[in-house]
Amino acid sequence: MNTLSKNRLFQRNEFWLLCLLIVLSLTVGAVNGAFWSANNLFSLFKSTIVTGIFALGVFLVIVSGGIDISFPAFAVFSFYITVKFLLSIKYTGTILLPFLMSMTFGACLGLVNALLLSSFQLAPLIVTLGTGSAVTGFLRAFVGTATLSNLPQPLIDFSRWNIYKKTLADGSIVSFSGAFLILLVLAILIHVMMKRTTLGRGIYAIGGDEVAAKRVGFNVKRLRLFVYSFTGALAGIAGIIHCSLIRLANPRDLEGAEMEVIAAVVLGGASLTGGKGSVAGTLLGVALIVLIKGSLILVGVPSDWQKVVIGLVLITATGLTAWRSRRSDEGGRA
């Protein structure tokens, strides 16, 4: 038993991810010293915010045994309508309303996913593929295709919110975006929920075995409703933050973001068959993807290669997980 717990650390996905992250950082740093500049590091952190919040949502869905590829569409829908509405009323109040609005739109769309899933017993991949596409189409056909660059003042103020800011000797400015705190708070919240509440354990349970979960007394349908709406809400939040940080509301934004986010979550140790994964792993997965994307240029890899590298990393990571679980299977048999 003792050796078991000693081995546990090395069996943990998080441990290996952390090692990989460190090795990768050291390598990139060795090739190009600019990697360690505050400017680069802060901008890497900034890039994790939106991907990270998306990933937390996808993590929940994947743990519950489902999948969601509609979230980028939901995010765009939510922030675009929110911005358009706020502009039309010339809103100047606090940042709270934009957030709440975008989050609510996202949650409602997520709810639609869950209702479709449970009432027609369809595969989540198909349902979310459908709703994602429908929502995108609806947005462009009925709401607008114009990119809005004159965001309401509260969103502009939000993008300027920094928890650290300094003007360097050469006149350049380094700053650490305050929005990162939102990612942190959400991550802690979800971590506690998943580890410490019956709700969270229920999400793991339905991902492990839905029938067994039903027999134990979980309300599987209600858990699903929660998971998909929560993921939708997170998409709404990520959306509005994204739009604020880039100071643009572009209805064609975030196309293809799902691939990167799902890659991060799977890399973080969540199993696509459900029931496995952790918030810490998810964040590490996000960090890894962001690091790879942000550093390839620093080490001289053309940006077209980013997708190739991310694809390879994804295949390698899932391949490794599958290989490890097959090995432990054999151990159990022997």
Residues forming the site for another protein (CB under 8 A)? 1, 4-5, 195-202, 204-205, 207-209, 211-213, 215-218, 274-276, 328, 330, 332
Provide the Cα torsion 311, 317, 319, 322; round to 10°. Answer: -140
Partner residues linked to 177 by β-bridges: 162
Nearest to 318 by CA among 260, 268, 258: 268
User: Is the Cβ of residue 172 or residue 198 nearer to another protein in the bound state?
Assistant: 198
Nearer to another protein, 3 or 88 (CB): 3
The answer to whether 111 and 130 have CB atoms below 8 angstroms apart is no
| Residue type present at position 170 | D
Sorted by sequence, the CB contacts under 8 Å of residue 25 that are 6+ apart come out as 35, 291
Query: Judged by CB, which is closer to another protein: 270, or 290?
Result: 270
Q: Are 258 and 62 in contact (CB under 8 A)?
A: no
Residue whose CB is less far from another protein, 52 or 281: 281
Least distance to another protein from the beta carbon of 193, Å?
Answer: 10
Question: What is each CA distance from 208 to 51, 214, 273, 274, in whole angstroms?
Answer: 26, 12, 8, 6
CB of 207 to another protein, least distance (A): 7
Kindly tell me which of 156 and 189 has the beta carbon lying closer to another protein. Answer: 189
Q: Which residue lies nearer to another protein by CB, 217 or 256?
A: 217
CA proximity to 167, closest of 158, 175, 159? 175
Q: 177 φ, ψ to 5°?
A: -65, 135
Helix (H, G, I), strand (E, B) or coil at 46: helix
CA distances from 327 to 27, 120, 324 (A): 30, 38, 5
Structure tokens given for 109:
């769309």
Give the nearest distance from C-beta 5 to another protein in angstroms: 8
> Minimal distance in Å, beta carbon 297 to another protein?
38
* Cβ proximity to another protein, 166 vs 195, nearer residue: 195
Name the minimum Å distance from CB 11 to another protein: 11
Give the shortest CB-190-to-another protein separation in angstroms: 15
Q: Minimum distance between the CB of residue 83 and another protein, rounded to whole angstroms?
A: 37
Distances (CA, A) of 246 to 105, 152, 158, 249: 21, 13, 11, 8
Whether the CB-CB separation of 116 and 127 falls below 8 Å is answered with yes
CB nearer another protein, residue 60 or residue 289: 60
Nearer to another protein, 90 or 215 (CB): 215
Measure the CA dihedral 147/152/153/156, to 10°: -40
Q: How far apart are CA 280 and CA 269, in angstroms?
A: 10
Task: State the nearest-atom distance from the C-beta of 331 to another protein, in Å.
Answer: 8
Could you tell me the smallest distance in angstroms from the CB atom of residue 327 to another protein?
8
